[in-house]
Structure formats: C-alpha cells, structure tokens
Amino acid sequence: MPIANRCAYLLQIPTPIPCSGSLQSNRCPSFPAVLYKKWRYTGSKACIYTAEAANRQNSKAHKLNTEFGEVDDEIEDEEELDGPKRRFRAKEEEKDYDRDPEFAEILGSCLDDPEKAQSKMEERLRKKRNKILHMKTGSAIPMKVTFNKFGFSNSYIWFEFYNAPLEKNVHLICDTIRSWHILGRLGGCNSMNMQLSQSPLDKRPSYDAIQGANVEPTTFYNIGDLEIQDNLARIWVDIGTSEPLLLDVLINALTQISSDYVGIKQVVFGGSEFENWRESLTSEDAVSSVHKI
C-alpha cells in the first residue's frame, strides 16, 4: 500500500497511471491529478530535498525581484530628477542679483542725504534704462498732431514722448523716418497719381501707365539727423513740394508706433523752438544724442 508523504508532492511531477480495470483512457486528463508514489527514501530526507528546491526557487524569485526593483529605482530617480530636483538645480545656477554694491551705497545714503540718494538713483536708471523691462511699451492715449507755421521746404518736426525712449525704440523711429524719406525721394507718395484708390470698388481695377508717367513727380529733397534730448526729439526736413500725402504716411506710421511700441505724446510740424529743448546741449551729454538717418 502506498504511503502518503505530505512533503513529496512538492517535488514529484504528477504523472498519470493507467488503470487496467477500465476501458476509459486517462492519458490526457482534463486537470492535473496529484498522485502519491512510494519513495525509497524516508520522509525526513524527502522533506530536506523539498526544502532545498524551495530555497532555490525563492532565491531565483528574489533575484528577479531585485533586478526589477533596481530598474524601478532608476525610473523613480529619473522622475524625481525631472521634478523638484531639476528645478532646485536650475535655481542654484541662477545668479544673485541682490548683492549690488552700487545699489547698497544708494540705500545706505538714503537716510543721511535723501536728495543725494535720489540723484544717484536717477543716474542709475538713466544709465541702465536699456536693460529695464517694460510691461507696456505703447500708449492707449491717441497721439496729438499739431501744425505750427510748417513749411515744406525748411521746417522741423518735433516729437514729445511720455518717457525717454529706449535704444530699441530709437532704432525703430530712425528706421521709420528713413523708410519714409526713401519712399518720398523715389516719388512713392504722389497724390496726383492715385488711380487705384480713386477707382470704384465694384469694378475690376485698371491702371493707365501713360497717365502715371505724365504726372508731375514729387521728390523728397533732403532730411537731417534725429536729435534726442531726454523725452524730446526733432528732425529737420526739406520736402520741396507741397505734398500732404507724405505727411499722412508719416502720421499713420507714428500713430501705430505710439500705440504698440513707444508712447508719443504729441508731434508738432513746424516751429523753430520747443519747450524744454536746449540748443546748448551736445551729443556728449548723457541726455542728448544724435542718430544718422
């Protein structure tokens, strides 16, 4: 009679035993049957072998878990590096802009001599105004346009800004005036030849080349340099012919610049003098500069 050993079924691979007294085949059972087989060894020795096999399986499982655990740790480390650790490292690389000896000197003299501290602060802002960021560069207030004895052949055009223009805004003003001068010098602003703008909108546009060639040309004769003193600027022009379209083109461009980029309080056509403008200042002074057109 076979002896049932409780430890043996862990090691023994179940095998079907054919039954001689039955005509039904049991070679491929529908589920694995646990059978007991007679062992040559005692129960204690079989249990030892079973324990060794279980230890080997446990060691393999532990090894696999360790490998997967290391991979998971690497993924977690990468995720942590992408998160607050990376932001902390980026924050460490930032420079400390609070330690400024010049600014500390201004604050130190604020209580002893407020007027001196204010003058130093204004000088600092004047020198470093190009590095100051403005949230709003333009102005929502419409630009004022006035005429003061303007002559097309010999007159100044005055500009008054809300604040002293930055270097990039000065380049924008210079490029606009330069483009305006080139367009006028080439005869692009001739109100006597407005064929397309005066044609009806419900018809197909047509252009008469002979009529355009016979129109008296208009030429922008000469222009000076752009002079800037703090928030004021002026430029001398010699348009030559009385062509109001040239002025409309310049006013339209300055209106857009005032709205989007740098606020222009007013533009005055004509006049040899303007309030707060000093003829004695030169380009060597801090608030004065001359820009070639």
- Find the helix packing angle between 114-127 and 101-108, rounded to 10°: 150
pLDDT of residue 73: 52
Looking at residue 180, its pLDDT comes to 96
- In this predicted structure, what is the pLDDT of residue 57? 59
pTM (2 d.p.): 0.54
Burial class (CB in 10 A: 0-12, 13-18, 19+), 44: exposed
The span from the CA of 160 to the CA of 155, in Å, is: 17
Domains defined along the chain, listed by start: 8-73 (no CATH), 135-191+216-291 (3.30.70)
Residue 53's pLDDT is: 54
CA dist., res. 249 & res. 266, Å (int)? 16
Q: What is the 3-state secondary structure (H, E, C) of the chain?
A: CCCCCCCHHHCCCCCCCCCCCCCCCCCCCCCCCCCCCCCCCCHHHHHHHHHHHHHHHHHHHHHHHHHHHHHHHHHHHHHHHHHHHHHHHHHHHCCCCCCCHHHHHHHHCCCCCHHHHHHHHHHHHHHCHHHCCCCCCCCCCCCEEEECCCCCCCEEEEEEECCCCCHHHHHHHHHHHHHHHHHHHCCCCCCCCCHHHHCCCCCCCCCCHHHHHHCCCCCCCEECCEEEECCEEEEEEECCCCCHHHHHHHHHHHHHHHHHCCCEEEEEECCCCCCCCCCCCCCCCCCEEEECC
Q: At 2, which amino acid appears? A: P
Q: What does the pLDDT read at residue 277?
A: 92
Name the token pair of 52: 């060794």
CA 59/CA 178 separation, integer angstroms: 83
Matching residue, tokens 């040239």: 246
Q: What's at 25, amino acid-wise?
A: S
Regions of the chain where pLDDT drops below 70: 1-99, 129-136, 283-284, 286
Tokens matching residue 282: 């030169």
pLDDT, tens only, 257-288? 999 999 999 999 999 889 889 888 876 676 78
Q: Report d(CA 236, CA 169) in Å as an integer.
A: 20
Q: In the prediction, which pLDDT does 2 show?
A: 53
At 200-245, the pLDDT tens digits run: 888 888 999 999 999 988 889 999 999 999 999 999 999 988 899 9
Structure tokens at 247: 């002025």
pLDDT at residue 121 in the model? 81
